[in-house]
Amino acid sequence: MIITCDSCKTRYKVADDIINKPTFKVRCHKCNYRFIIHKNDPLDDSFLLQDEVSADDHRIIALSNQKGGVAKTTTCLNLAVSLAHMGKKVLVVDFDVQANLTILLGFRQTRSFYELLNKEVKGINDIILHTKYPNLSLLPSNSKMALLKKRYLTQHNFEYLLRNRLQEIEKKYDHILIDTPPSIEFFTLNALIAAKLVIVPTTCEYLSIHGVSQISDIIKVLKGIDHDIEYKVLITMFDARKTSEKVIYEKIRHKYGAMVCKTVIEIDDKMQESHIVNLPILYYDEKSKSAGQYQDLALEITE
């Protein structure tokens, strides 16, 4: 998990199994500040945080949850636009046959990762498109992507295809965000292997906790085979007027503690309007609640 110093905001990586007490006293290696992590009971001595999060840890981010309609694509687009707006160079990868991200960015009938693997183009740069938004590029999807699943799923090491291709270009970008489909198979496994951080968007509905625990279980398995990967749970479309949502929100916070993003994305009609006109929320209504919240999320990811 990632812990941010309350004083100097330095971020550290800490193994999940160390934090098995209700509250956990820690000390920042950089500024010596001591503070408490709320997870489980206090230790006698404060734990010295040393392993700082590097720029590489948050370079490749997958947006994933096998539950459908929880704002994976919305978050991928709007977080990417917010990061790009801050001056970061960003690539979004549409790794979903639905191609919703490609469509939201105004493209249709593009080439995709399929053409790259099928050797119809020379290299990955030939399929990357520059969007109309500054600092934001897209590796698009198309319907042929569906064929990849069939062709490669039984092949040895199929889950490394995306990671291997991104290695050629990853240093050109500050962040690469990968949108995934609502299922855990070829595309999602490739995204999880390529990423160092997984953001798990979830709504506060009854089945949501189940969806989050499924993805966190897979991440534990990946960590078990020495894959350096962290995850953060992002509450989306939160409706504070509903008691049921508040109850589930508290359950998620209790279960995932510091792994839950501080930023909460609330339900916002403006977001739905922005999708109708194919605009990221920041370009549709900069002053809207959700535009501000996605900018807060971008700061939280990079702080």
Ligand X SMILES: Nc1ncnc2c1ncn2[C@@H]1O[C@H](COP(=O)(O)OP(=O)(O)OP(=O)(O)O)[C@@H](O)[C@H]1O
Residues that bind ligand X (CB under 6 A): 68-74, 96, 98, 100, 181-182, 236-237, 265, 267-268, 271-272, 275, 290
Q: How far is the CB of 98 from ligand X (least distance, A)?
A: 6
Q: How far is the CB of 267 from ligand X (least distance, A)?
A: 4
Residue spans of beta strands (DSSP E) within the chain: 2-4, 11-13, 23-28, 34-38, 47-49, 60-63, 90-94, 129-130, 136-139, 175-179, 197-202, 230-235
Q: Indicate the residue among 42 and 69 with the shorter CB distance to ligand X.
A: 69
Which residue's C-beta sits nearest to Mg ion?
73
Q: Indicate the residue among 95 and 249 with the shorter CB distance to Mg ion.
A: 95
Q: How far is the CB of 75 from ligand X (least distance, A)?
A: 7
Contact 153, 186 (CB under 8 A): yes
**Binders in 92-111 for Mg ion, by CB under 5 A:** 100
Q: Indicate the residue among 258 and 281 with the shorter CB distance to Mg ion.
A: 281
Q: How far is the CB of 261 from ligand X (least distance, A)?
A: 14
Among 39, 58, 72, 175, binds Mg ion (CB under 5 A): 72
Distance spanning both ends of the chain, measured CA to CA: 16
Neighbours of 287 (CB within 10 A): 7
Neighbours of 163 (CB within 10 A): 18
With CB cut-offs between 5 and 8 Å by kind, which of Mg ion, ligand X, none does residue 68 bind?
ligand X
Q: How far is the CB of 76 from Mg ion (least distance, A)?
A: 8
Give the count of residues interacting with Mg ion (CB under 5 A). 3
Site stretch for Mg ion (CB under 5 A), options 53-61, 70-78, 229-237, 247-255: 70-78
Q: Indicate the residue among 37 and 81 with the shorter CB distance to Mg ion.
A: 81
Token look-up 């900069």 returns 286
Contact 11, 2 (CB under 8 A): yes
Contact 75, 249 (CB under 8 A): no
With CB cut-offs between 5 and 8 Å by kind, which of Mg ion, ligand X, none does residue 267 bind?
ligand X
Under the binding rule (CB under 5 A), the answer on residue 236 touching Mg ion is no
Q: How far is the CB of 218 from ligand X (least distance, A)?
A: 16
CA triple 125-127-133, angle to 5 deg:
90
Question: d(Cα 16, Cα 7) in Å, to the nearest integer?
Answer: 22
Question: d(Cα 177, Cα 197) in Å, to the nearest integer?
Answer: 10
For Mg ion, the binding residues (CB under 5 A) are 72-73, 100
